[in-house]
Amino acid sequence: MIFQTGLFNLTWGMVVMLLVGCALIYLGIKHEIEPLLLVPIGFGVFLANLPLTGLMRSVVDGKIVEYYTLGAEPIGIMAKIFNYGLMWEMIPCFIYLGLGTQLDFGPFIANPKMVLLAFGEEIGVFTMFFVALFCGFTMKEAAPIGIICGADGPTTIYITTKLAPHMVGITAVAAYSYMALVPIIQPPIVKLMTTKKERAIYMKPQMREVSKAEKIAFPLLGTAIITLLSPDSGPLVGMLLLGNLLKECGVTEQLAESAGTALLNILTIFIGLCVGCFMNAESVFQPKTLGVLGLGALGFAAATAGGVLMAKTMNLFLKEKINPILGAAGVSAMPMSARVVQKMGQEENKQNFLIMHALGPLVSSEVVTATAAGVFIGMLLR
């Protein structure tokens, strides 16, 4: 009997992943690095690598196994949440609904040229798409790897379930892990690509006041224009801008509050645990899995660099220069990128308050990344 306990079924890989789970929890609690993501992901990793828990148990070819694979019948509780929540695309769309209630498109409407910084992010997305092809991934596998570069978890999950569902676990892990580690990954890249003088560029905090009518019209016009140009991005963009409309219209405060707090918090717990539970030793220590993690990290760096490069390019033509640190906010890691921009700007110039300027490229990057995913889906499925 004692040999059937979890203690006698531990492998070296499980021990390594248990330590990884503890490290993620430590970063979330001790250093407060996006604890809402890292703590549930880390605990999910910890749970997934304790033997015989049955959390991801499923039936494969008539046999009960301790892991979940595409097409398997889920038995374990986390396998069921993963299958019916992620694979059926519900959780990503409803997370976008909640995110929409937290976004303020006012800075973007007031200064629309800042959307170009979000397009700078796409340099990394499409660069890694071709790099992944070169590394032996198929086009349908390379597209989600490219989207990882935007550090947008829901969009990554959505496109992966459409194009490469067998990779949804590892791409979700990569996207959410890098999104949570934005405060660690982005600053060295920004400092490498900018001078101290550039990072100290002062930007006036005042922007023109955006009317309520403009904020109400934007979700409608944005959804119509983007969906007409890229129909496959409709579910994500539509839910994102519906959430924003609930926030801005002024008569649905209860719906906006529920979607942006209770619903979003519940979904964050579910998706954090699901992502973590998929990081079992058997799945992680595979060549293709490690390849996705490596390419995702490289691509995230490329996306950050692309945003900074776009900002520096814009400064060649602008009379009033923009602080190139804002290029980091072109990566759709909400709200971590904006915090990084604000902190780095303050370190170089105490008079700089870049948070409002950062919101422009940040919120627009959510839409741009979802649109890019729609383009990939339309291109590869039709």
> What's the pLDDT tens digit per position in 205-243?
766 788 999 999 999 999 999 899 888 888 889 999 999
Q: What is the CA radius of gyration of the chain?
A: 21
pLDDT value for 206: 64
Q: Compute the C-alpha angle 288/292/294, nearest 5°.
A: 110
- Mean per-residue pLDDT, 187-203: 89
Q: Provide the greatest CA pair distance for the chain.
A: 76
pLDDT value for 232: 87
Task: Count H helices and E strands in the chain, helices first.
Answer: 19, 3
E strand or H helix at 27: helix 12-30
Bridge partners (DSSP) of residue 60 are 63
CB 243 within 8 A of CB 255: no
Amino acid at 324: P
Spatial distance between the Cα atoms of 263 and 256, rounded to a whole number of angstroms: 10
pLDDT value for 246: 95
Spatial distance between the Cα atoms of 344 and 372, rounded to a whole number of angstroms: 29
Domain residue spans of the chain: 89-381
**Quick one: pLDDT band at residue 5, thresholds 50, 70, 90?**
low
- Mean per-residue pLDDT, 353-365: 81
pLDDT value for 49: 86
pLDDT digits (tens, 9 = 90+) for 85-94: 776 678 888 9
**Quick one: pLDDT band at residue 181, thresholds 50, 70, 90?**
confident
Which is nearest to 117 in space by CA: 273, 377, 321, 324? 324
pTM of the model: 0.81
CB 154 within 8 A of CB 162: no
pLDDT value for 174: 80
257 has a pLDDT exceeding 90: yes
> 17-21, 156-160, 169-173: lowest mean pLDDT where?
169-173
Q: Return mean pLDDT, the chain.
A: 84
**Quick one: pLDDT band at residue 3, thresholds 50, 70, 90?**
low
Tokens encoding 302: 């490329």
pLDDT value for 118: 82
pLDDT value for 214: 93
